[in-house]
Amino acid sequence: MASKATYSCQNCGNVTNQWAGKCGACNEWNTIIEERAEPIAVTGQKKASSRAQSSLELETFDGQDQIIARYDTGFGELDLVTGGGLVPGSAILVGGDPGIGKSTLLTQLAANVANKGQRVLYFSGEEATAQVRLRANRLGVKKAPVELAAETNLEAILATIRTGKAPSLCIIDSIQTLWTQTVEAAPGTVTQLRATTHALIRQAKKTNCCVVFVGHVTKDGAIAGPKVIEHMVDTVLYFEGERGAQFRILRAQKNRFGPTDEIGVFEMRESGLKEVTNPSALFLSNRNEKGPGTCVFAGIEGTRPVLVEIQALVAPSPFGTPRRAVIGWDTGRLNMLLAVLEARCGIVLGKHDVYLNIAGGIKINEPATDMAAAAALISAFTGNVLPDESVFFGEVSLSGGIRRVSHVDQRTREAEKLGFADCYLPANTSENTNVTIRCHPITHLSQIVKIIST
Decide if 262 contacts 252 (C-beta within 8 A).
Answer: yes
When asked if residue 103 is in the footprint of Mg ion (CB under 5 A), the reply is: yes
Decide if 287 contacts 294 (C-beta within 8 A).
Answer: yes
Residue 95: name its binding partner from Mg ion, ligand TYD, none (Cβ under 5 to 8 Å by kind): none
Among 103, 255, 390, 412, binds ligand TYD (CB under 6 A): 103
Those residues with Cβ within 8 angstroms of residue 306's Cβ, 6 or more apart along the chain or in another chain: 263, 279, 280, 283, 299, 300, 362, 414
The answer to whether the bond into 174 is cis (omega within 30° of 0) is yes
Indicate the residue among 108 and 390 with the shorter CB distance to ligand TYD: 108
Q: What is the nearest approach in angstroms of ligand TYD to the Cβ of residue 136?
A: 9
The answer to whether the bond into 50 is cis (omega within 30° of 0) is no
What DSSP state is assigned to residue 204?
H
Q: How many residues does the chain have?
A: 454
Contacts of Mg ion in 253-272 (CB under 5 A): none
Stretch in the footprint of ligand TYD (CB under 6 A) among 95-103, 117-125, 257-265, 351-359: 95-103
Q: What is the nearest approach in angstroms of Mg ion to the Cβ of residue 62?
A: 44
Integer Cα distance of 206 and 169 in angstroms: 13
Integer Cα distance of 352 and 312 in angstroms: 12
Q: What is the nearest approach in angstroms of ligand TYD to the Cβ of residue 101?
A: 4
Q: What is the nearest approach in angstroms of Mg ion to the Cβ of residue 337?
A: 38
CA dist 418 to 280, 414, 437, Å? 8, 6, 11
Indicate the residue among 88 and 95 with the shorter CB distance to ligand TYD: 95
Indicate the residue among 202 and 363 with the shorter CB distance to ligand TYD: 363
At 77, is the secondary structure helix, strand, or coil?
helix
Q: What is the nearest approach in angstroms of ligand TYD to the Cβ of residue 55?
A: 47
When asked if residue 225 is in the footprint of ligand TYD (CB under 6 A), the reply is: no
Residue 304: name its binding partner from ligand TYD, Mg ion, none (Cβ under 5 to 8 Å by kind): none
Integer Cα distance of 420 and 40 in angstroms: 59
Among 14, 90, 104, 124, binds ligand TYD (CB under 6 A): 104
Q: What is the nearest approach in angstroms of Mg ion to the Cβ of residue 266?
A: 15
**Pairing between strand 15-16 and 5-9?**
antiparallel
At 75, is the secondary structure helix, strand, or coil?
coil
Residue 385: name its binding partner from Mg ion, ligand TYD, none (Cβ under 5 to 8 Å by kind): none
When asked if residue 140 is in the footprint of ligand TYD (CB under 6 A), the reply is: no
Contacts of ligand TYD in 271-300 (CB under 6 A): 271-272
Which amino acid is residue 451, in one-letter code? Answer: I
Indicate the residue among 100 and 396 with the shorter CB distance to ligand TYD: 100
Stretch in the footprint of Mg ion (CB under 5 A) among 98-106, 279-287, 379-387, 444-452: 98-106
When asked if residue 196 is in the footprint of Mg ion (CB under 5 A), the reply is: no
- The residue ranges of DSSP E strands in 135-209, in sequence order, are 147-150, 169-173
Q: Which residue, among 66, 103, 62, has the nearest Cα to 88 in the 3D structure?
A: 66
- The residues that touch ligand TYD, with contacts defined as CB under 6 A, are 96, 98-104, 135, 138-139, 268, 270-272
- The residues that touch Mg ion, with contacts defined as CB under 5 A, are 103
